[in-house]
Amino acid sequence: MTGALIIAARRSAVAPKGGGLAHCDIHDLAAPVIQAVLADAGLDDGEVDEVILSNALGAGGNPARRAALAAGLPERVAGLSVDRQCCGGLDAVLLARAMVMSGQHDVVIAGGAESYSRRPLRSRTFADGRPAEPYEQAPFTPWPTRDPDMAEAADALGRQLGISRRDQDDWAISSHAGARRWQTHPQDEIVALQGLTRDAFTRDLTPRLCVRAPVVTGSITAANMAVAADGAAFCLVVSGQVARRLARQSTRPAIRIVSGVTLGGDPTLPGLAPVTAIKKSLRDAALAPSDLTCAEIMEAFAVQAIACQKGAGLARDIVNSDGGGLARGHPVGASGAILAVRLYHRLARQGGAGVAAIAAAGGLGTALVLRMDQAGSSNPRKLA
């Protein structure tokens, strides 16, 4: 066990905005998940060096610090909050890896938490005394003509790549079907919160329902784009020394963070940005797409997931086989961390190597490669 390893990974269930987690603030979502990953690893909270938390909608205040305090971690744990919108959850894990690889820290809790239900109202102010102007989407570029609405950008991506509404609906149906199959197994990755032990949005999506779904714009409908949601997810990232010490007492495998990167691309087609990030991460890991046993690709829009799967050359049957964001929802700052947690648990079951990837507004893409090393698989447990 060398480098930086994930030795535990947990998440809350994901609930649509206004649903079962609507009363939870960011720290209420995060703290129980943080406590669960420490319990899984058998690690004392006094050993935690840092908490990195991705959050996109909370309007500051260092929610990582609030989460650390709410989880009962020592007051010396300062907390580091990051905002790279949808990419932030994976970025948090990559930051944890960098801290561990540099020798700065040995134990870092990294992930994300988002309450779409409790997000603050936002308004622009003006120096000339005009009334404040409410807004929903923050600017992601300095050029309004190259800063599209996300649904419109997804529709443009579909038109450019020839991905039809039917293709997108078929992907959405598959996502819900995979999630429904997965929900028949024990949900070891989920921490019960507010009575929720399963993702609340998963349903029996049919072609008939897809045809009837309200159109958002062009080929994008309420059926083939993810709903706004609440949730939290965290990974426990440690040095090889810590992983070796805990190996005998933990029931969870140690899975190595092999590589990962965040790259920028065309702001008008953000759905394509993860393709370049996936390809670079696989090159850095000396892996080909055919070497992977599983992949978790964010489904903010079905068209974006299809573009990434095809553009990166990933086999369709390894991508989101247990369902994706379309069957859960999209808790923006937490979504990348949820992918990392899902990938960890799939590799714990299947072994081998896998990739997680996500796109973000502004033309950003992040990818993360994990691998179950031989040393890391010495004490695996079958996880559902």
Catalytic residues, which ones?
86, 330
Q: Cα Rg for the chain, rounded, in angstroms? A: 20
| Alpha-carbon distance values, 357 to 32, 65, 124, 278 (Å) | 25, 26, 32, 7
Task: Say which residues have a Cβ less than 8 Å from residue 323's Cβ, sequence separation at least 6.
Answer: 175, 176, 177, 178, 179, 180, 181, 182, 199, 202
Q: Assign 53 to helix, strand or coil.
A: strand
> How far does Cα 235 stand from its chain's mean position?
11
Half-sphere exposure of 266 (CA within 13 A, CB side): 10
Helices (H), the chain: 26-41, 63-70, 88-102, 150-161, 165-182, 207-212, 240-246, 273-284, 302-311, 332-350
Alpha-carbon distance 94 to 260, whole Å? 7
Strand partners, 42: none
Helices (H) and strands (E) in the chain, counts: 10, 15
DSSP-based three-state secondary structure for 381: coil
Largest CA distance in the chain: 66
CA 288 to chain CA mean position, Å: 23
Measured CA to CA, the distance from residue 270 to residue 280 in angstroms comes to 17
Beta strands 80-82; 50-54: pairing state: parallel
